[in-house]
Amino acid sequence: MDNTVIEIQDAVVSYREDVALQGVSLEVRKGEFIGIIGPNGAGKTTLLTIVNGLGKLVHGQARVLGSWLNGSNSINLRKRIGYVAQVERIDPRLPINVRETVMVGCYGRLGLCRRPTRAQWERVDEVLEMVGIAHLSQRPIGHLSGGEYQRAAIARALVQQPEIFLLDEPTASIDQKAQREILSLIQLIHREYDMTTLFVTHDLRTLPPVCQRLILMKDGRIWQQGSPESMLREEVLTQLFGAPISVATEIAPVRAE
């Protein structure tokens, strides 16, 4: 039985003169947790946008959850894909609270002209409880700290009942304690919900231990891929980032937690 949920063939993406992805091919099986690492500008985020149909392919094709992506079906596919970006700057005066923000995750599946049901609001409250911010549900979204905001973003993705979970630097710009809590939560969700997860980071210390396969990107290409054990080696990482990386001091302590 074919359990491939993402299949990308020879993908090329460009933003005017800049080529963001150059002939990337990738297969992801159901239930995999894949880490995507690389320096800034390597094409990591662009790869995620191909999966959720927000990126425009100038060459190649992508099949996600059984459908070949075209301009017309990507909006329906996005309803089945949870996406958490890095902490964004939010206007503290924004007129929306945490509970309403999390409910936005349901709106795609709910469809136009239909209001959320009581069961959906109860589901939002359950998920807020699960991510540990139920006590903040009535707080304006712009009043949250970085770690709290990311929990709200994860809750929003969860109420969407996604089959694929895309995480784009979810621990960037938050302190180490909050980083650890967010990483634990991501691993818990991956296991509990049997999710297929793609986790992008440029900070090797935030790579969750649950990661089964590591994709190393450089200059818009998949430079190498393999098990974390085979990829997280000093000579490989030093070549990838173009600067000396010490596995013993920078990665090993975090992965051991």
List residues near another protein by CB under 8 A. Answer: 52, 54, 75-79, 81, 83, 85, 87-97, 100-101, 104-105, 107-110, 112-113, 115-116, 140-143, 145-149, 156, 160, 173-179, 181
Smaller CB distance to another protein: residue 15 or 68?
A: 15
Smaller CB distance to another protein: residue 97 or 197?
A: 97
C-alpha angle 203/145/83, rounded to 5°? Answer: 55
Smaller CB distance to another protein: residue 107 or 223?
A: 107
Shortest distance, position 92 Cβ to another protein, whole Å: 5
Nearest Cα to Cα of residue 206 among 254, 240, 162 = 254
Helix (H) or strand (E) holding 234: helix 234-241
**H helices of 28-166, where?**
44-51, 74-78, 98-110, 118-131, 146-159
Shortest distance, position 173 Cβ to another protein, whole Å: 5
Shortest distance, position 70 Cβ to another protein, whole Å: 15
Shortest distance, position 73 Cβ to another protein, whole Å: 11
- Burial state string for 134-147 with b = 16 or more CB within 10 A and e = fewer than 16: bebbeebbbebebb
Shortest distance, position 43 Cβ to another protein, whole Å: 19
Smaller CB distance to another protein: residue 74 or 216?
A: 74
Smaller CB distance to another protein: residue 138 or 235?
A: 138
Contact between 69 and 63 under an 8 Å Cβ cutoff? The reply is: yes
Q: Which residues contact 58 (CB under 8 A, 6 or more apart)?
A: 12, 13, 14
